[in-house]
């Protein structure tokens, strides 16, 4: 068992700060597979193929879907996951739709960051839960884009790019590490170099308590922490999408193919601003 505690001088910190502040994003929204279509003629097969192959797909529709239509669309891609967490209930509709909009300027509570103007570090969804409970697909609907033209962007880092920048030895270590306090959680990495599957969250300065598989000697805690540091460097160096939201945009994220996060939103706290709806699917 050990603890990863980042230092301000760690290489990933300056990279993360620049990206989340919106000053170092490689905005390549044109590389996001985008489908311009009518709400009643969505190319389901093409979207599924893009989500599987690239990990992300975008719909720019000719109208804003209402909540019921958004729910019906999601059901064509999988089974929605009910949202039961107590701290989310004031943001939930119809038990499956999460309204992501800011209710505060900033917070130190990581569970409340999506509902503030704060940036959200890179992560996979529900990385601390058993694999069978982790969502396969996330679908977002933009009801209102941010008033900040450079803020509130969804950033994406493909697993393939993250894994390619790590050594075989680093990948071996990550295959045998998991969160200490969540014994049912999977290891940080499953799969091989060609198809890496990560389950990991950037703790953003909060201590990350980890445990190693007892049957494998991974070396000293210092060595293991350096591997975690290199993983974080690779995650932020691999950010190659900065999604600029527009009214009515629908974004699909494959939770088994990409990390995602959000840049700082500098919209006015007195204005409702950026509003996304999200449904998670298995």
The domain ranges of the chain are 2-281
> Which of 38, 281, 278, 282 shows the shortest CA–CA distance to 141?
278
The least confident of 1-15, 96-110, 222-236 is 96-110
State the CB neighbour count (10 A cutoff) for residue 58.
21
Is residue 212 a contact partner of residue 189, using CB atoms and an 8 Å limit? no
Is residue 36 a contact partner of residue 167, using CB atoms and an 8 Å limit? no
Q: Which residues pair with 276 in a beta bridge?
A: 100, 142
Average pLDDT for residues 169-180, to the nearest whole number?
97
Q: In angstroms, rounded to a whole number, what is the distance separating the alpha carbons of residues 227 and 135? A: 26
Whole-number average pLDDT of the chain: 91
Residue 270: per-residue pLDDT: 55
The answer on pLDDT for 174 being more than 50 is yes
273: which DSSP letter? -
pLDDT tens-digit readout, 118-166:
999 999 999 999 999 999 999 999 999 988 877 889 999 999 999 999 9
pLDDT tens-digit readout, 14-58:
999 999 987 765 544 446 788 888 888 999 999 999 999 999 999
pTM for this prediction: 0.93
Q: In angstroms, rounded to a whole number, what is the distance separating the alpha carbons of residues 189 and 176? A: 8
Token pair of 218 as six digits: 């991974």
Question: Topology of 2-281 in CATH?
Answer: Double-stranded beta-helix (3.60.130)
Q: In angstroms, rounded to a whole number, what is the distance separating the alpha carbons of residues 213 and 187? A: 9
pLDDT tens-digit readout, 223-265:
999 999 999 999 999 998 788 899 999 999 999 999 999 999 8
Integer CA distances (angstroms), 200 to 98, 197, 232, in order: 22, 10, 10
- Pairing mode of beta strands 56-61, 249-254: antiparallel
Token pair of 228 as six digits: 């975690």
* 3-class DSSP state of 82: coil
Burial class from Cβ neighbours inside 10 Å (0-12, 13-18, 19+) for residue 190 reads: middle
Average pLDDT for residues 168-183, to the nearest whole number?
95
Q: Which residues pair with 242 in a beta bridge?
A: 155
Is residue 14 a contact partner of residue 228, using CB atoms and an 8 Å limit? no
Q: In angstroms, rounded to a whole number, what is the distance separating the alpha carbons of residues 108 and 142? A: 25
């Amino acid at each position: 068992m050990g603890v990863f505690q980042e230092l301000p001088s760690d290489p990933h910190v300056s990279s993360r700060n620049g990206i989340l502040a919106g000053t170092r994003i490689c905005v390549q929204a044109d590389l996001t597979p985008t489908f311009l279509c009518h709400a009643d003629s969505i190319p389901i097969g093409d979207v599924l193929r893009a989500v599987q192959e690239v990990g992300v797909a975008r719909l720019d529709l000719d109208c804003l879907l209402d909540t019921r239509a958004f729910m019906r669309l999601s059901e064509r891609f999988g089974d929605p996951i009910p949202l039961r967490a107590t701290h989310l209930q004031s943001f939930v509709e119809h038990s499956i739709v999460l309204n992501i909009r800011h209710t505060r300027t900033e917070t130190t509570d990581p569970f409340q960051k999506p509902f503030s103007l704060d940036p959200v570090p890179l992560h996979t969804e529900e990385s601390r839960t058993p694999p069978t409970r982790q969502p396969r697909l996330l679908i977002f609907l933009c009801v209102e884009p941010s008033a900040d033209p450079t803020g509130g962007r969804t950033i994406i880092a493909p697993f393939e790019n993250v894994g390619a920048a790590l050594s075989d030895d680093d990948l071996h270590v990550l295959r045998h590490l998991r969160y200490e306090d969540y014994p049912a959680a999977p290891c940080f990495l499953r799969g091989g170099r060609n198809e890496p599957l990560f389950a990991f969250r950037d703790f953003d300065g909060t201590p990350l308590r980890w445990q190693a598989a007892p049957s494998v000697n991974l070396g000293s805690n210092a060595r293991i922490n350096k591997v975690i540091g290199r993983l974080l460097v690779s995650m932020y160096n691999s950010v190659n999408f900065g999604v600029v939201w527009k009214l009515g945009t629908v974004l699909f994220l494959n939770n088994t193919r990409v990390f995602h996060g959000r840049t700082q939103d500098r919209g006015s706290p007195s204005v409702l601003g950026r509003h996304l709806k999200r449904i998670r699917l298995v």
